[in-house]
Amino acid sequence: MTPPRLLSFLHAALRPPAVRALCIQVAALLPCALLALLAEALGHGLTLFQAVLLQGVLASALTWKLGLAPWWRVIQLLFPLALMVTSALALPPIVYLVIFIVLLGWYWSTFRTQVPYFPSSQPVWEAVAALLPAQPGLRVIDVGSGLGGMTLHLARLRPDVDCTGIELAPLPWLYSFLRARFTGSRARFIRGDYEKLQFGEYDVVFAYLSPAVMNALYAKARREMKVGSLLVSYEFAIPPYIPDKTIFTTEGAPPLYVWRF
């Protein structure tokens, strides 16, 4: 592999924050080990808890220095402590395998997409329903639909509207799909990546995702959506784009941002 291709490969491989966080933990291990050896040589050996805490503090500091999102600092601090606790529990390996499979099914490629599970609430669903024009035949999609609550609510409230949810993680998608099937709902649920959708096929696109992807989402919507269609984002603004409407669903709750194209 030529140097330019190698650099390109490394850049792509290190792009997901989870990969960078793991590399930071590995990088923090060497100075932590050296400090532990130095303390031992000076007659002040570290306990396991002290060594693990030192590892977490160093990893958290490096995470802050390298500019990862603030929540990664907490994760980096607690990760070594969590490993120590799980090791002390000495659970059978099958338990860890089951936990891994469940978490994989629930979060799937969150490490790549940077979009964790954010559930919305009924006041949000009702506010979105109030935004829908009265005309029948509208097409609405909830990107990152999670457990399907909003899509099912809109389908129940507006039987004249085509309501779809798209979810990448298998377990939330399966749960919402089964909810629709067993309740006889007209809501449809797709398992897939919203980036592969054509937003021009929808009149309203609702998103409760993550600040990390909002600018790309807006660019896609602006490029593909029809004139008069709506992009609705719960909680996350998309600077520098000023929304046409900002709605507060309940006192103290995050706002609902609406852009009309």
The answer to whether residues 256 and 134 belong to one domain is yes
Q: pLDDT at position 31, please?
A: 82
The answer to whether residues 156 and 235 belong to one domain is yes
| Tokens found for residue 246 | 């900002």
Radius of gyration of the chain (CA): 23
Q: pLDDT at position 92, please?
A: 82
CB 207 within 8 A of CB 215: no
Residue 238 included in any domain: yes
Most confident of 7-16, 86-95, 114-123: 86-95
The answer to whether residues 130 and 217 belong to one domain is yes
Average of per-residue pLDDT across 233-255: 90
Summarize pLDDT for 111-133 with one digit per residue, the tens: 455 555 566 788 999 999 999 98
The answer to whether residues 135 and 231 belong to one domain is yes
Residue 20 included in any domain: yes
Domain of residue 17: give its range: 3-89
Residue 234 included in any domain: yes
Residue 247 included in any domain: yes
The answer to whether residues 132 and 41 belong to one domain is no
Q: Provide the CATH number for the domain around residue 190.
A: 3.40.50.150
Q: Which of 2-11, 132-141, 148-157 has the lowest mean pLDDT?
A: 2-11
The answer to whether residues 134 and 241 belong to one domain is yes
Whether residue 229 is predicted with pLDDT greater than 90 in this model: the reply is: yes
Residue 101 included in any domain: no
The answer to whether residues 83 and 152 belong to one domain is no
Selected residue with higher pLDDT from 33 and 240: 240
Whether residue 256 is predicted with pLDDT greater than 90 in this model: the reply is: yes
If one counts the domains in the chain, the total is 2
Could you tell me the pTM of the whole model?
0.69
Summarize pLDDT for 163-221 with one digit per residue, the tens: 999 998 888 899 999 999 999 999 999 999 898 999 999 999 999 988 878 899 999 99
Selected residue with higher pLDDT from 10 and 49: 49
The answer to whether residues 203 and 250 belong to one domain is yes
The answer to whether residues 187 and 66 belong to one domain is no
Residue 111 included in any domain: no
Summarize pLDDT for 13-63 with one digit per residue, the tens: 556 667 778 888 888 888 888 877 777 777 777 787 888 888 889 889 888
Cβ neighbors of 96 (< 8 A, separation 6 or more) are: 86
Q: pLDDT at position 42, please?
A: 75
Residue 114 included in any domain: no
The answer to whether residues 188 and 137 belong to one domain is yes
The mean pLDDT value of the chain amounts to: 84
Last residue of a domain, one of 38, 64, 89: 89
Selected residue with higher pLDDT from 3 and 151: 151
Residue 172 included in any domain: yes
Q: What are all long-range contacts of 84-91, with beta carbons under 8 Å and residues at least 24 apart?
A: 84/48, 84/49, 84/52
Last residue of a domain, one of 89, 106, 140: 89
The answer to whether residues 135 and 233 belong to one domain is yes
pLDDT band per the 50, 70, 90 thresholds, residue 5:
low
Q: pLDDT at position 187, please?
A: 95
